[in-house]
Structure 1
Amino acid sequence: MKQLWKCFALLLPFLVLLAACGNTGGTSNSSGPQTINVNLSEFKIDASLTTFTPGKTYHFAITNRGQTVHEFMIMPKAEGNMSGMAMGNMDKMALAAVDNISPGETKMLDYTFPASTANSQPEFACYLPGHYEAGMKQEAHITS
């Protein structure tokens, strides 16, 4: 038994050191995507964060809390009312988009703002007919 305690006493400092090396203070996920909760409703977009850093990946969890289908688009800037423009053309303009989010549904989008967006003001928007005009937009900011 004495031998066992001596072994344990000799190993204890190494075990403590090993445990300390493995502890990252909760920062092990700091390099992973930051989750942004986005709630869609009639007729509003509410994102938990609206200031972003270029080169950092963000994980958008987009939930439709409304009663009708919505979409979520990240436009490079406020485009205003684009009624009459073909959806395919809007999609080409968008930095990212998630289509057809049904009531109660949550869809995910991982997106990294490119360096070219630094110091810009993109806009989150829903361009389904009449939604943008009813207020489904939210301004965002990209820092440098």
Structure 2
Amino acid sequence: MKQRAIFGIFLTVFMLLLAACGSGGGKTDSPNAKNVDVSLSEFKVSVPLTTFTGGQSYHFVVTNTGKTTHEFMILPKSEGSMSGMPMEDMDKMALATTGDINPGETKTLDYTFPSSTVGSHPEFACYLPGHYEAGMKQSITVAS
């Protein structure tokens, strides 16, 4: 009986560890995805490249290196300040979003810029209150 209980605990711990290893931080399903490391801090979005290829899959690894919660959004174009707009409306406008990222946390996001967006200038941004206005934005270009 005691061995069964120990085995049950061991199995539960093993399953939890297995689930934790499989969540986040993994590669996109596309074998051709290009990894892009993004760093969020007060109050800046840092990314090593600002020109992306239409039709190419990207695996964004977004780390909050700051001391406050941030978010990472890909918007179709610069929207400027959307102060006062409900967050759910902003999320609807976004091409993709990570949601909140706490200090020290990393989240991943897979996104492919459609070929139809070649020539456009999307924007990476954080729209938590006051963050965009403080400079948390990065204009990007989609090229062929």
User: Could you say which structure has the larger radius of gyration?
Assistant: 1
Whole-Å separation in 1 of the counterparts to 2:62 and 2:36:
8
Give TM-score, length-normalised by structure 2: 0.77
Percent identity, please: 64
Structure 2 counterpart of 1:17: none
Correspondence list, 1:76-95, <5 A: 76-95=76-95
Establish whether residue 34 from structure 1 lines up as the match of residue 38 from structure 2.
no
The ranges of structure 1 where at least 4 consecutive aligned residues each deviate by more than 4 angstroms after the TM superposition are none
Q: Which residue does 2:67 correspond to in 1?
A: 67
Counterpart CA distance in 1 for 2:114 and 2:96 is 12
Question: In the aligned structure 2, how far is the partner of 1:43 from the partner of 1:96?
Answer: 20
User: Equivalent residue for 2:110?
Assistant: 110
**For 1:48 and 1:102, how far apart are their aligned partners in 2?**
22
Partner SS, residue 72 of structure 2: strand
- Residue 123 of structure 1: aligned partner: 123
Quote the residue 1:7 is aligned against.
Answer: none
Task: Please give the root-mean-square deviation of Cα atoms over the aligned residues, in Å.
Answer: 1.2
In the alignment, residue 131 of structure 2 is paired with which amino acid?
H
In 1, the alpha carbon distance for the partners of 2:62 and 2:114 equals 21
Alignment partner of 1:48: what SS? coil
* Residue-by-residue CA offset, 1:38-87 (whole Å, 9 max, x unaligned): 00000000011111111110010000000000000000000000001111
Question: How many residues get paired?
Answer: 115
Letter in structure 1 aligned against 2:136: M
- Runs (5+) with no aligned partner, structure 1: 1-30
**Amino acid aligned to 1:62:** V
Q: Which residue of 2 aligns with 1:137?
A: 137
> Can you give the 5+ residue segments of structure 2 that lack an aligned partner in the other structure?
1-30
Report the secondary structure of 1:120's partner residue.
coil
Deviation at 1:115, TM superposition (A): 1.8
Structure 2 letter corresponding to 1:37: D
